[in-house]
A and B are shown apart, each in its own frame.
Chain A
Amino acid sequence: MTSPARRAALPLAAVALVAGTIGVQLGHGGGTYEPLRPADACIERPVTSQVDGIEGLTERLVLIGIDDAACTLGTSREALTLRIAQADEPTAAEIGALRRGLLSAVRRMKADGTLPPASDLVDEVLGSADLNPLLERVVRALPDSAINAALKTDDVLRRTIEGLDLRRLLRDVDDVSAIDEQIEPAVTQAVKDSLEARVRDLV
């Protein structure tokens, strides 16, 4: 090897090694190896649940509702969830946004046809509600078409959401029995109010 070639060999080899290493790393995503970035809460995303019935419906409503609330508050779904989980007391604005988000979720699910008819939920509601046995038997005997004509799922859900104490519900979020204690009366009351409203409309 001639002298100039020999002098240049080491720097050239170093440049090739560094460029090769960094090039391969960038080619495999080395510049973007970062934690997930929260998605824009204002862009609708599909929501699913691993369970059926009221629990699954509630989960989907909550997921859509949090997105909507985060969009209203100008934050991400994740940031809002963490804030609610870590703060001692959610602010009035957060509670208001959550309630509006849940109501908006009901509208969205009704619009896209993912809200189940009331007859699909009746058995489950009757199983957990503390109703007069006679009345329960009567309701169970009704055909699905009669139930769906009398009760609209979106109306019941809207009334339930409006009747819930969200602040208390968030405080008890990790206590299943405490949540059930709040939701069951709210649903029962919503069903009654919805039926009354139907009857009033008929009269």
Chain B
Amino acid sequence: MRRAVSVLLAVTVAMVLADSAVVTLALPDILLNLDASVGQVAWVLIAYNLVLGLAAVPAAAGLGIARPHVVSAAGIAVFAGASAWCAVAGSIEVLIVARCVQALGGALALVGCLEQLVTERGERRGVATWVTAGVVGTAAGPVVGGLLTQAISWQAIFVVQVPFAVLAVPAALAVRSTVTPPSDRHRPAVRANLTLALMSAALTAALFLLVLLLVEGWGRSPATAAVTVSVVAVAAVAAPWLVRPLRPSTEVEVATGCFLVAGGLAGLALLPSSHLGWTIAPQVLVGLGLGLTVDRLTSQAMEMRLPRARHAGWTIGARHLGVVVGLAVLTPVFTADLRDAQVPAQEAVTALVIDAPLTPQGKIAVAKTLGSALADERGQVPDLSRAFSRLDVDARDRPAAAQLERALDDQLERAANRAFRDSFLIGAGLAALALLTVVAPRRRRTS
């Protein structure tokens, strides 16, 4: 029974942190279904991370007023209610407001669950469970979201959270801490939290941009993208096991992790083709980096610091405000680069059509079909397969038209890659900055 309670609390922590990026793969569907703009859709992610980042420390302060089981149960209930509200949202504005409420509940649930896991499992194991659940949730969020969107719909992402949360409310109420939270004794771990914020921004670049590149740029299905990005989650889980025999210090582990994330993002900026296989090695680097940094930094920021929940609040704040900074920096860059990529892509497509081994009438038919396909796509990367399925060409032109379709797809994928390159490199720069915060010499304390 106590084990089930711990599992439910850990799942709640994972769910709240997974929600930070769970909708990433559903964004194209949300954009279409709720008739939103790209800027509005980005706010579905930004709003959640912003509110979670800002509310975490005040939520921890709430533990001084109310008991952890009350804070947890209330937080989980609000989170569940808001999740259901997200699922039935009929407009992008309602969805964004529901996401804010969801994040508010999530902040309360996170700090409350930390105290309860410590009560249940003891200080060391309780904090470790909370931290690990957070890392798994962060890494698995986009994967789960993508699979649910593909299998059912984007609303399913929110619906499946409700039963878990409904079970977690009585579980939270069942764990009653008898210890009064200690008063403020330690200052926040500024360096660890700063590194965590920069790494979160860089990891946002990795996960958010990669799924957008796969779905929007390369036209892969959300399920394919979800399975592809699961490499990050698997590598993140494997990382601590792989480095254990070397017994590195926390600084070496974190610095190495930052370097791996920077290298992985640079690798994503330099993909040699749109074959999914090329994304695996850079993703492994990012996943290993994620596994070596986030839990270590979170533990470092909280270790021996009291009150525990307050410091957990600072780490949550640092992580999610880092995500917001990442999105705020990257969204305008890649949307502008995508816009700028349209002209080179159109010119490449034009060159291929002009030089295609088609009859003049075939070329004119292809040009007409492509023209209307480009006009229908509202600035997104066009789906040429639909356009070519409508194409009416002479039988002798069909093999050349099929070959042309493949060549045009390749050009669009090249244009998308080029458009995402700067953003991946900015992400790599953020990870390199995080590395600097780790290796920069510490200020000597004067007595």
Q: What residues make up the interface of A, taking CB atoms closer than 8 Å to B?
A: 1, 6-7, 9-11, 14-15, 17-18, 21-22, 24-26, 28-31, 33-39, 49-51, 55, 58-59, 63, 76-79, 81-82, 85, 173-174, 176
| B346 contacts A by Cβ under 8 Å | yes
CB-based contact A85/B371 at 8 Å: yes
Q: Which 5 pairs between the two chains have the least Cβ-Cβ distance?
A: A18-B263, A30-B270, A28-B272, A35-B348, A78-B347
For A76, the chain B residues whose CB sits under 8 A away are: 347
List 30 contacting pairs A-B, 8 Å CB cutoff, sorted by A: A1-B246, A6-B246, A7-B249, A10-B246, A10-B252, A14-B256, A17-B260, A17-B284, A18-B260, A18-B263, A21-B285, A22-B266, A28-B272, A28-B278, A29-B273, A31-B270, A34-B344, A34-B414, A35-B348, A35-B414, A37-B348, A50-B359, A51-B359, A55-B359, A77-B354, A78-B350, A79-B347, A82-B346, A82-B347, A173-B364
For B351, the chain A residues whose CB sits under 8 A away are: 36, 38-39, 77-78
For A59, the chain B residues whose CB sits under 8 A away are: 360
Cα–Cα, bound, A118→B266 (Å): 61
Interface flags for B351-375 (1: CB within 8 Å of A; 0: not) read 1101001111110100110010000
With CB as the reference atom, state the residue of chain B lying closest to A58.
B360
CB-based contact B272/A29 at 8 Å: yes
Interface flags for B307-343 (1: CB within 8 Å of A; 0: not) read 0000000000000000000000000000000000100
CB-based contact B418/A34 at 8 Å: yes
Most buried by B among A24, A28, A33, A39: A33
For A173, the chain B residues whose CB sits under 8 A away are: 364
A135 to chain B, nearest CB (A): 30
With CB as the reference atom, state the residue of chain B lying closest to A34.
B418
| B58 contacts A by Cβ under 8 Å | no
B234-258 contacts to A (CB < 8 Å): 243, 246-249, 252-253, 255-256
For A79, the chain B residues whose CB sits under 8 A away are: 347
Cα–Cα, bound, A26→B266 (Å): 11
Given contacts A10-B252, A50-B357, contact A33 B348 (CB under 8 A): no
CB-based contact A10/B357 at 8 Å: no
For B248, the chain A residues whose CB sits under 8 A away are: 6-7, 10
With CB as the reference atom, state the residue of chain A lying closest to B368.
A174
Cα–Cα, bound, A39→B347 (Å): 10
B428 to chain A, nearest CB (A): 10
For B253, the chain A residues whose CB sits under 8 A away are: 10
Interface flags for B265-279 (1: CB within 8 Å of A; 0: not) read 011001111000010
With CB as the reference atom, state the residue of chain A lying closest to B248.
A10
B236 to chain A, nearest CB (A): 15
**Beyond A10-B256, A14-B263, 15 additional pairs, beta carbon < 8 A:** A10-B252, A11-B252, A11-B259, A14-B259, A22-B263, A34-B414, A34-B418, A35-B411, A51-B360, A55-B360, A78-B347, A78-B350, A78-B354, A81-B350, A85-B371
With CB as the reference atom, state the residue of chain A lying closest to B358.
A50
For A7, the chain B residues whose CB sits under 8 A away are: 248-249, 252
| B204 contacts A by Cβ under 8 Å | no
CB-based contact B344/A37 at 8 Å: yes
B400 to chain A, nearest CB (A): 8
CB-based contact B259/A18 at 8 Å: yes
For B66, the chain A residues whose CB sits under 8 A away are: none
